[in-house]
Structure 1
């Protein structure tokens, strides 16, 4: 049922009493505003009320704050995981590049040594790369990336920056096969640098050393003596390092001294080699001694070549294979 008009109690009734009440409330509001502006009484009341109400605000905002914190945490974790993965990939790539740079630096150093050898000796050489290895009990050979199309021919000497490596024994159109000095079927005429004694250095089955089985018993050979190519046979030019004596002992037959030498060339690590060109063709065994003078192999050697001793038996025919 609707209430009668007189039952209603409006705050500001449309009468004189209501108007007076409105004027009173307006005056009170103005007085409070003036007092608040001058004395700050209401600020103290608001401050005290805020101290009571603020925990309620914080409690009401906790769900939203928690969700926002969890979202940020998961986003940061995902970003950190992706960043860690990228850094791991970058580190792996950097390590690979560093290893590659180290290998390239070592290769450049070896090429520099080869070029220094070429310039210092003024040799007509050709640079080749080792592309295959055939090492076994009876075969110590490697394959080079140059062949007949590049002017390679059988018997061509091969060296590295440290000494004689071997000689070419087979030539194919684009590749060639080199026999190492340690191959059991290889032999090279050598001279001992300290004494000038000439002898033959043969390969061995172990592939790590050279054998000198025909040294006279009275010869002066010591551990540490350097072996150089003697130039006999005309295949290997004189003066190139071949090896260094590591052991000397009487041969089992008791007729000779037998020495072992470590090759001067870096046979197991050299990836680039030099092939010598414009060398004299093999001239065969030296001429026998005649009443008219010494044999041909005892003729004066050019300046700078090691001196040769006259008390050495002639090397067997076909020694420099």
Structure 2
């Protein structure tokens, strides 16, 4: 009679079936209890409450990343906006400065036009190309020459008074010897007293010398000196300067005066060239 060892395989199947039936019974019981008492719902709610901090911690890196991205985008936008506003401010400042310069230039041109109208002068407007105010050489270079009718010897004025005279011309430019040049002299007359004198350049754009003033000349600080017309080099009646100082010379036989030029020799962009003497 054959013999065998080991357990019966059917007993294992029966055990598994019984376990499955037990689980099913337990599940049914839980469903019934939950349906009647709702305790599973409460358990789930409590579990959700307990898990909420974990969810917050788990979501913190994502929220932190979003906040950093948003802050970076906001900062970049603010930097770009600041740059745009700064550029706009600089541009506005440049435009305002340019308008102010244009307004000042228009005012100077109106003054020149007023001088022309007041004197009934036949003049020519000439822009200034260059200026040389070296103490040994006081010159202007004008953007007008022989092709514009400029000639040597023409008197040059501005809205304030006498500037100088043309000493050299070229087809497109001309050179003006300023009255403040050390080699320049202009016959003048004191407007208040009629005393005739000669004003000399000193190499300074803000001063002229008035030597050999008679003690009896009755010259005072503040007196206006104008061209006398003697010698025919300059028309009579144009302001040359104002007396700002008087003192005795070395011999104490005469006075020496200092004049402040009437013309704005170190500023302005245009001058007037006299074609003929104006009406007095």
Tell me, yes or no, whether TM beats 0.5: yes
Residue 16 of structure 2 is aligned with which of 7, 16, 39?
7
Partner of 2:74: 76
Within 5 A, what are the aligned runs for 1:31-70?
Answer: 49-70=47-68
Aligned length: 268
Please tell me whether residue 142 in structure 1 is matched to residue 135 in structure 2. Answer: no
1:86-110 per-residue CA deviation (whole Å, 9 max, x = no partner) reads 3333333333333333322222221
Aligned equivalent of 1:95, options 93, 96, 99: 93
Higher helix share: 2
Q: Does 1:131 align with 2:129?
A: yes
Contact 2:205 2:266 (C-alpha < 8 Å) held by counterparts: no
What's 1:212 paired with? 210
Computed over aligned residues only, the root mean square deviation of the Cα atoms, in angstroms, reads 3.2
CA contact (8 A) 2:156 2:163 kept: yes
Residue 111 of structure 1: aligned partner: 109
Q: In the TM superposition, what is the alpha-carbon distance from 1:76 to its structure 2 partner?
A: 2.7
**CA spacing shift, 1:12–1:270, aligned 2, 3 Å:** same
- Could you tell which deviates more after superposition, 253-262 or 174-183? 253-262
Q: CA deviation at 1:131?
A: 1.3
- For the residue of structure 1 that corresponds to 2:256, the secondary structure is strand
Structure 1: runs of 5+ lacking an equivalent:
37-41, 281-301, 306-321
Deviations 1:226-247 (A, max 9, x none): 1112233334333221100112
After superposition, the C-alpha distances for 1:163-217 in whole angstroms (9 at most, x for unaligned) are 1111111111100000111112222222212212222212123443112223222
1:291 corresponds in structure 2 to none
- Contact (CA 8 Å) 1:235, 1:279: kept in 2 or not? no
Deviation by residue 1:40-85 (Cα, 9 ceiling, x = unmatched): xx6x877655433321211110111122222223333333333333
8 Å Cα contact 1:234/1:279 also seen in 2: no
Task: State the secondary structure of the residue aligned to 2:232.
Answer: coil
CA distance in 1: counterparts of 2:98 and 2:22, whole angstroms: 93
Alignment of 1:227-246 (within 5 A): 227-246=225-244
- The offset of 1:149, in angstroms, is 0.7
Q: Which runs of 4+ in 1 moved over 4 A?
A: 10-13, 21-28, 44-50
Task: List gaps (5 residues or longer) in structure 2.
Answer: 1-8
Which whole-Å CA distance do the structure 2 matches of 1:199 and 1:99 have between them? 44
Q: Normalized per residue, which structure has more strand? A: 2
Residue 12 to residue 226, structure 1, CA distance change in 2 (3 Å): same
Residue 255 of structure 1: CA displacement?
4.3
Distance 1:58 1:204, change over 3 A: same
Distance 1:70 1:213, change over 3 A: same
